[in-house]
Amino acid sequence: MIEILGNLGLGFVHVLAPANVTALLIGLVVGMLVAILPGLTLVMGVVLVLPFTYGMALLPSIIMLTAMYVSGTYGGAFTSILFRIPGEPLDVPLLWDGYTMGRKGAPAKALGWTLYAALWGGLLTATAMVLLAHPFARFALTFDAPEYFSVILFGLTSVVALAGTSMTNALISLFVGLLLSTVGVDEIYGVQRFTFGVPVLADGIKYVTIMVGAYGLGEVLGRLEQGFQSRPVKRSADGIKTELPTLSEVWKVRSAFARSSLIGVLLGIVPGAGATITSFVSYGAERQYGKRKALLGTGIPEGIVAPQIASTASVGGHMVPLLTLGIPGSGATAIILGAFLLHGVQPGPQLFTDPKSAALVYAIFASLFLSVLGMCAMGYFWIRSLVKVMDAPEAVVSAFVVLFCVIGAFSERNNLYDVWMIVIFGIVGYLFDRFRFPIAPLVLGAILGPEAETSFTTSMISHRNDWAGAFFGRPISCVLMILTIAALGFPLIRHVLRLGRAWRAG
Amino acid sequence: MPVLLKLRRIAPYAIILALSGYLYDLALHFDYQKVPGRIGPDAWPRIILVLLMAICAYQVLRLALQRKTGEVEGVLQSLEEEAAPSLVHPETEHPWLAWAGIALTFGYLLAFERVGFFSASFVYLFLLMLVGGYRRVLTALGIALAASLAFMFVFMKIVYVSLPLGRGPFLDVSIGVMKVLGIH
């Protein structure tokens, strides 16, 4: 424990270097802006910033992206409460009680509850991250190829099982992603696969182009299809201040604080349960178990703190499997993993054993604490200025997004091929969205595909093609495989039971 | 369900199924030295393709037979749909706008090297704003100009990216802009 605290202290010293503080501030501001603007999603924003990190050192890059991620879970609360415009899907639950409280004449108080919730959720998640990461990493050090394959498979299947869409479509999206990762020269045999004689395909398809295309351009095309909001939102936040609740008021909703904190951190660790999901689940839990569940939706504090705490608390939860196992659990953490890989660093338990990289990890932990404090200060003092970005028409913002995508892709290798790939995956992303195939499994499949294939092939070779022995004959791997089967089986069983009930009811 | 609607629903799965079949055939013919008792570089893609084909075939059959078995939903689908139906199923859809955006982007990339970054981006941004429904033409022109200049300045002067300058008269325009921006 003393060692952890000492490392964390050193982490704070690293973060306070001017370059890192600047990256943190930029990340906080951009994250807030992205969350406020209805045409931009948080993941899209993180993707657009990724190309700017090519020339930066690893630590400020990760600090910037993490700060964006955490402040993105908070920024949209303002537009939801004040204007009934959720900047992100994760802010939708805030409409029910946050906006209602505002309409009842207490918007400042609603903002105060949000600030407390974000602060509590953020600090809690940062603490949980520090405490959980080491045991996780120590456990992961015992992993061999079969365990790695099983944990990746579990991560990917839980993304599919939790998908807010048809599970078959999510599986198709995942398999397409895994298949894309096989394009190019195979690492073990050196054989060209699916290159169609095109020399550039021998290098494989870069997952960055898939991410930027599908999340960036694809989403712009999707919004274009729905018709951009061409007129700016003419609403004013002038005169609105944040009014903090008193400690006795906070004490009255302590059970909501405790419940949503637990849901946020625990669901955050499960791959696939992003901030949106935790926010909805936490509100749902409040509706089911809250002391004042009958009053939810009428503008009570529990309806504000539950989704806000859970969505902010999920950030640290997501960072734990990313840093200790190299497995991203959400779109935003997939991009942060991309930033690590672009700098030649593979996240995993080894990060914690090497003193140099351990310093990096603790600096990231420290930056999360500072990000939470920074975003709350920003929300308290600057929010009236920040919400002014809503005056920008969506058509203009989207045109900028596309240009960012194009230049971002071009600037990595000064090669138009990468830009064409982005356009192709932009169209793929748009079509996926149109036919209700989720994007996250595609991207995660493309990123984790090579690691999954290598660990699968190595396991099969070392176990002489005995797959049962490799994956079910080792305790950790066996448990993970059973969890994988359960993750896939649960929605299926639920579906069959529903059909049975419908059939019995005639 | 009308036949056309049914075909439209089946089409994505049928296309992916056909493509997977073709790729599976390609995977069968990867050129490598087989080692007895060891899986080859074709094993992993073939496993994925078989699973992909199986799911697509299931979906095609399910939709074609129109069985009332419904869809296996992700755990949180009903939660999201209940909460925000407008986010899950938007009310208005204009696919032609998206395809116009795609056509514009294709045109932009085709012109990128010939016309140069500055001129191509200026025209592209302006047209994309118009397609997106922004009707203040003069403001759009101003924004497109300012954005093209700003992007050129940031990426050429600060990030040191060698953006295409174009050919013929477009090259002169790009060089003129670079002089104005102080890029050497």
Long-range residue pairs from B45-48, CB within 8 A, at least 24 positions apart, any chain: B45/A179, B45/A182, B45/A193, B45/A194, B48/A175, B48/A178, B48/A179, B48/A182
Residue B177: inside a domain: yes
Predicted local distance difference test score (pLDDT) of residue B31: 85
Domain housing B141: 95-181
Stretches in chain A below the pLDDT threshold 50: 230-234
Count how many domains chain B has.
2
What is the per-residue pLDDT for B73?
A: 61
Stretch B165-177: mean pLDDT: 87
B177 with B99, same domain? Answer: yes
Instruction: Please tell me whether residues B52 and B127 are part of one structural domain.
Output: no
Delimit the domains of chain A by residue range.
Answer: 2-504
Do B123 and B47 fall into the same domain? no
Query: How many CA atoms lie less than 13 Å away from B73 in the CB half-sphere?
Result: 14
**What pLDDT is attached to residue B74?**
59
Amino acid at A397: V
CA separation for the pair B166, A72 (Å, rounded): 39
- Distance between CA atoms of residues A426 and A445, nearest Å: 17
- Dist CA A2 CA A4 (whole Å): 5
Same domain, B102 and B26: no
Is the domain of B101 the same as that of B156? yes
The closest of A269, A267, A264 to A312, measured between CA atoms, is A264
Tens-digit pLDDT profile for residues B113-170: 889 888 999 999 999 888 888 888 898 899 999 988 988 888 787 767 778 888 888 8
Which DSSP letter does residue A344 get? T
- Is B84 inside any structural domain? no
Angle at A222 between CA A220 and CA B3, to 5 degrees: 160
User: Which residues lie across from B170 on neighbouring strands?
Assistant: none
Note the maximum CA span of chain A. 71
Specify the 3-state DSSP secondary structure of A178.
helix
Type and span of the H or E element at A193: strand A192-193
pLDDT tens sequence across A10-39 = 889 888 999 999 999 999 988 888 887 766
Q: Report yes or no on B86 lying in a domain.
A: no
Indicate whether B76 belongs to any domain.
Answer: no
Q: Report d(CA A195, CA A179) in Å as an integer.
A: 12
DSSP label at residue A99:
I
Test B98 with A191 for CB contact under 8 angstroms: no
Residue A335 has a pLDDT of: 84
pLDDT, one tens digit per residue, over B79-88 is 555 555 444 4
CA A359 from chain centre, in angstroms, equals 24
Q: Are residues B175 and B140 in the same domain?
A: yes
Query: Complex ipTM, two decimals?
Result: 0.85
A236 touches chain B (CB under 8 A): no
**Does residue B64 sit within a domain?**
yes
Same domain, B63 and B114: no
B104 lies in the same domain as B65: no
pLDDT computed for residue A506 by the predictor? 67
> Do residue B126 and residue B61 come from a single domain?
no
Type of residue numbered B15: I
Of B74, B101, B109, the CB nearest to A164: B74
- Both B18 and B54 in one domain: the answer is yes
Hey, what amino acid is at A407?
A: I
> What's the pLDDT at A224?
85
Shortest Cα distance, chain A CAs vs residue B139, angstroms: 10
Report the sign of the C-alpha dihedral through residues A399, A403, A406, A412, in that order: negative
Average pLDDT over residues B85-112: 77
DSSP codes, A359-398? HHHHHHHHHHHHHHHHHHHHHHHTHHHHGGGGGS-HHHHH
* pLDDT confidence of residue A232: 46
Please check whether residues B55 and B130 belong to one and the same domain: no
A179 in contact with B at a CB cutoff of 8 Å? yes
**A304 is written with which tokens?**
């504000």
Q: What is the pLDDT of residues B34-80, one digit of tens each?
A: 888 788 899 999 999 999 999 999 999 988 887 655 666 655 555 55
- The shortest CB-CB distance from A457 to any of B44, B51, B97 is to B44
Residue type, A485: I
A220, A267, A402, best to mutate vs chain B, most B CBs in 10 Å: A402
